[in-house]
């Protein structure tokens, strides 16, 4: 069995773009979110019209900061179908959003898929198009938190991951 190092490198770079997006969106780091996408990337089904990556970041980062005290995006079941310098990427996404409001604390859970087109245009593999699909979502009243005195994550560059 021969190992195709170019294929392995491409897959690792594509998965890194997915994880870069997740860290960026959860740490509210607009530059990191943008780093996962080509400058002319389009996001479809995030609203009534397709969004450029810049419009998406400008819209979503302030809304996540204002509307939720924490988020966590996880990707799994990543399937990459590569054809040269282009790949179709399907990744399951499980996203949690913690809302603290006047009526208490709620946990929003989103389960769906990112259907991405990734391309290597000579500057590394990045996402050029993203389609979002929902499989299910729910909103639950927060009953109580687990005991403990752990430090909370930071939603900016003060988080330890940036050290």
Any idea what the CATH number is for the domain that residue 106 is in? 3.10.450.50
Domain count, the chain: 1
- Give domain status of residue 160, yes or no: no
Predicted confidence (pLDDT) per residue in 53-109, tens digit = 999 999 999 999 999 999 999 999 999 999 999 999 999 999 999 999 888 999 999
* Counts for the chain of helices (H) and strands (E), in that order: 3, 6
> 88: which residues sit within 8 A by CB, 6+ positions away?
80, 81, 115, 116, 117
Task: Give the pLDDT of residue 15.
Answer: 98
**Residue 45 predicted with pLDDT over 90:** no
pTM recorded for the entire structure: 0.93
Q: How confident is the model at residue 127 (pLDDT cuts 50, 70, 90)?
A: very high
The mean pLDDT value for 130-139 works out to 96
- Give domain status of residue 161, yes or no: no
- Give domain status of residue 91, yes or no: yes
Per DSSP, what are the bridge partners of residue 42?
Answer: 52, 129
To which H or E segment does residue 111 belong? strand 104-120
Per DSSP, what are the bridge partners of residue 108?
Answer: 97, 139
Task: Give the pLDDT of residue 120.
Answer: 98
- Give domain status of residue 40, yes or no: yes
Predicted confidence (pLDDT) per residue in 22-33, tens digit = 999 999 999 999
> 100: which residues sit within 8 A by CB, 6+ positions away?
69
Q: How confident is the model at residue 143 (pLDDT cuts 50, 70, 90)?
A: confident
Q: Residue 64 sits in which domain range?
A: 5-144
Q: Cβ atoms within 10 A of the Cβ of 126, count?
A: 24
- Give domain status of residue 156, yes or no: no
């Amino acid at each position: 069995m021969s190992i195709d190092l170019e294929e392995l490198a491409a897959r690792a770079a594509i998965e890194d773009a997915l994880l870069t997006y997740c860290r960026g969106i959860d740490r509210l780091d607009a530059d990191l979110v943008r780093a996962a996408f080509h400058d002319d990337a389009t996001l479809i089904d995030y609203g009534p019209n397709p969004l450029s990556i810049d419009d998406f970041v400008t819209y979503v980062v302030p809304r996540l900061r204002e509307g939720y005290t924490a988020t966590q995006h996880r990707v799994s079941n990543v399937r990459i179908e590569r054809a040269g310098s282009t790949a179709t990427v399907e990744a399951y996404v499980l996203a949690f959003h913690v809302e603290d409001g006047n009526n208490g604390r709620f946990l929003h859970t989103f389960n769906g898929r990112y259907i991405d087109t990734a391309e290597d245009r000579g500057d590394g593999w990045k996402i050029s198009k993203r389609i979002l699909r929902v499989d299910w979502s729910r909103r639950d009243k927060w009953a109580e938190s687990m005991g403990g005195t752990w430090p909370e994550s930071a939603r900016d560059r003060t988080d330890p991951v940036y050290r």
